[in-house]
Structure 1
Amino acid sequence: MRIIRRLADGELHSGADLAQALGVSRAAVWKAVHKAGEILGLEVRSVRGRGYRLVAPLELLDAERILAAIPHQARHRIERLEVYADIDSTNSHLMREAQQGAPSGTLCLAERQRAGRGRRGRTWISPFGTNIYLSLLWRYPLGPAVLGGLSLAAGTAVAGVLEAEGIPDIGLKWPNDVLWHRRKLAGLLLEVAGEAQGPSLVVLGLGLNTRLPAAQAAAIDQPWTDLDSVAELGAISRNRLAARLAERLTDIMVRYGGDGFGPFLPAWERFDRYRGEPVTIHLADQSFSGMHAGVTPQGALRLDMDGNIRTFQAGEVSLRPNAI
């Protein structure tokens, strides 16, 4: 990781300078560069007689920069901030930490996930140093049953942050997808544990594509996009973006604990891209088709089936637009 930090700027660095800075031999530098490239999936160019450089520069995550970019009045909501170069899954890590007593407000980010997870057991493609992989642990006196709308509330926060960054046409797809031009830009994963009457804990995970190489995204089975693909969009700092997301998501966690999903319903409706359109709901081995009739104040989806309204809870089903 030390060698990648030296090369992250995308500039050419000589073997001699790298060896001196890292306190190793030039042969060790050569091995470290090639090993890092192979393990992390980074493209490193070797220029004979001149040194090494990354083909694409990286803005690596920095805990101090992230905290400094969070307004002072919001910083107290983050009890602990962890940044990892490599991890199995930020959500899995915080679920384990929660069982060991990690405090509410623990925030975890990673440069890469070896076993990133999406909803319904899907793999979340998580290459090194390009996207946002973020998980937040929060504790509630409430029982798990009342947290069903939390992923929707969090979706409005993510959409709001991206809109504030100047990204047009941001949308939401029930229950946990953030879209740009109806292509998946980010996804949320909510995992809850606790007693039926409370208390409970929740780990909210966010995967946001900032730059996703097509070769590494080949396994994705639905239309996707990344921030780099948004036309006329200038470079967005990963650290600043992580800070904005942390600020808004912790605010959502606090407000949801007091007011539930109801206050977030207008924002959800503004970003909802499929209301009034034909959709299909997949539930285990059953499918239900109808018109997307919005969501309830608790976050359940309303499906109009020839005039009969049926509701579905977010944790049970998957929604697909009929055209896809």
Structure 2
Amino acid sequence: MDERQLVLIRRLADGRLHSGESIACELGLTRAAVWKILRKTSETLGLAVIAEPGRGYRLAMPLELLEAERIQSALSETACTHLSRLDIHPVIDSTNEELKRLASTGAPSGSVCLAECQTAGRGRRGRAWVSPFGVNVYLSLLWRYPFAPSHLGGVSLAIGATLAEALTRLGAQELALKWPNDLLWRRRKLAGLLLEVAGESQGPCHLVVGLGLNLGMTAGQGSTIDQPWTSLEEALGGFTVGRNALVACLLDAFVEALDRYGREGLAPFLERWRAHDAYLGEPVRLLLGEQVIEGIHAGVAEDGALFLDTPEGRRAFQAGEISLRRLESSSQ
């Protein structure tokens, strides 16, 4: 995205009409050039731009763009102390990939990467994460620990419980967690976490916590998603949450959780995760590469492993992806 496109989006973000003449004057362009840039912006970013002849241009839906100053001013004192940098990208391949690149060059713990749009957003198991411009939250946070990566086996559960509680405080009800790191509302996916760890075998290590949270995405924008999904606005009954205030709220919660995990491990988060366990006691199938294991979801162990009651007895699994098995057949 070039600077002129970003200026145009910022100008139109309020959803009100802006004359082509005033925009052209601001950018030092002809009105024809303004329309050409708007059309390109609309096509590349999926933004619906409405042209009203003789009156001007507006976005079909207003946008609250992310602003570092607004986020930082809403952070708690604790978060301000622990966060070292906050970068906002209009368009990026992946916020997680950016922080992994920065981590390899020595970026400090507490580095935050946000984006309005991702061109190569990722979920777990290499899946694409649909990332339309300006309507959701794409956030990654880098955290460094002095110990070995093996100590972070349960951190996804800690962050999942923290996320569910943070959104509950905002008014969302009926939230549930699918092991190890999906957040659901009424069995539809609301958010996903992608946690990536690297480091020396004996320490130190670093963790990148990636969050994709569906906030106000339309059905059209999410049409390529291959599973039931929802948005925070729907979970809140149509209530709109400001994106900058929401990001600050999430960073506050994540900073506190990651700091506490470093001191106390998974123990303080276990019951909090269990309180949101989506599939406890239900028939599920666990996917491990090409292997499929079916059984009854029997909860999580003290180290965060999944317990599955199978015909061979109770088994514990450290990795995989749960999907709920339909009772009427063995197909998914």
Question: TM-score by structure 2 length?
Answer: 0.94
The corresponding residue for 1:235 is 240
Does the residue aligned with 1:56 lie in a helix, a strand or coil? Answer: coil
Match of 1:187 among 186, 189, 192: 192
**Structure 1 residue 306: Cα displacement:** 4.1
Residue 318 in structure 1 maps to residue 294 in structure 2:
no
1:44-63 equivalent positions in 2, closer than 5 A = 44-63=49-68
The corresponding residue for 2:310 is 305
**Structure 1 residue 231: Cα displacement:** 5.9
**Structure 1 residue 309: Cα displacement:** 1.5
Q: Which amino acid aligns with 2:121?
A: G
**Structure 1 residue 307: Cα displacement:** 7.4
Residue 8 in structure 1 maps to residue 17 in structure 2:
no
1:116-175 per-position Cα deviation (integer Å, ceiling 9, x unaligned):
000010000000000000000011111111111111110111111110110110110000
Alignment check: 8 A CA contact 1:167 1:233 kept: no
**Structure 1 residue 215: Cα displacement:** 2.4
**Structure 1 residue 239: Cα displacement:** 0.6
1:56-205 equivalent positions in 2, closer than 5 A = 56-205=61-210
1:262-294 per-position Cα deviation (integer Å, ceiling 9, x unaligned):
110010011111111111111112111111111
1:191-230 equivalent positions in 2, closer than 5 A = 191-230=196-235
Q: Which moved more, 1:174-183 or 1:73-82?
A: 73-82
**Structure 1 residue 233: Cα displacement:** 3.4
- For structure 2, which runs of at least 5 residues remain unmatched after alignment? 1-5, 327-331
Alignment check: 8 A CA contact 1:293 1:302 kept: yes
Q: Which moved more, 1:224-233 or 1:109-118?
A: 224-233
Alignment check: 8 A CA contact 1:260 1:298 kept: no
Give the paired residue count: 322
Match of 2:273 among 268, 272, 280: 268
In structure 1, C-alpha distance between the alignment counterparts of 2:256 and 2:151, rounded to whole Å? 18
**Structure 1 residue 308: Cα displacement:** 1.8
Give runs of ≥4 in structure 1 deviating > 4 Å.
Answer: none
The corresponding residue for 2:299 is 294
Does the residue aligned with 1:232 lie in a helix, a strand or coil? Answer: coil
Q: Which amino acid aligns with 2:226?
A: D
Match of 1:17 among 22, 41, 56: 22
In structure 2, C-alpha distance between the alignment counterparts of 1:186 and 1:291, rounded to whole Å? 24
In structure 2, C-alpha distance between the alignment counterparts of 1:22 and 1:67, rounded to whole Å? 29
Q: Which moved more, 1:66-75 or 1:253-262?
A: 66-75
Alignment check: 8 A CA contact 2:300 2:306 kept: yes
In structure 1, C-alpha distance between the alignment counterparts of 2:153 and 2:69, rounded to whole Å? 33
- For structure 1, which runs of at least 5 residues remain unmatched after alignment? none
Q: Which amino acid aligns with 2:223?
A: A
**Structure 1 residue 73: Cα displacement:** 3.2
Match of 1:42 among 37, 42, 47: 47
In structure 1, C-alpha distance between the alignment counterparts of 2:78 and 2:195, rounded to whole Å? 26
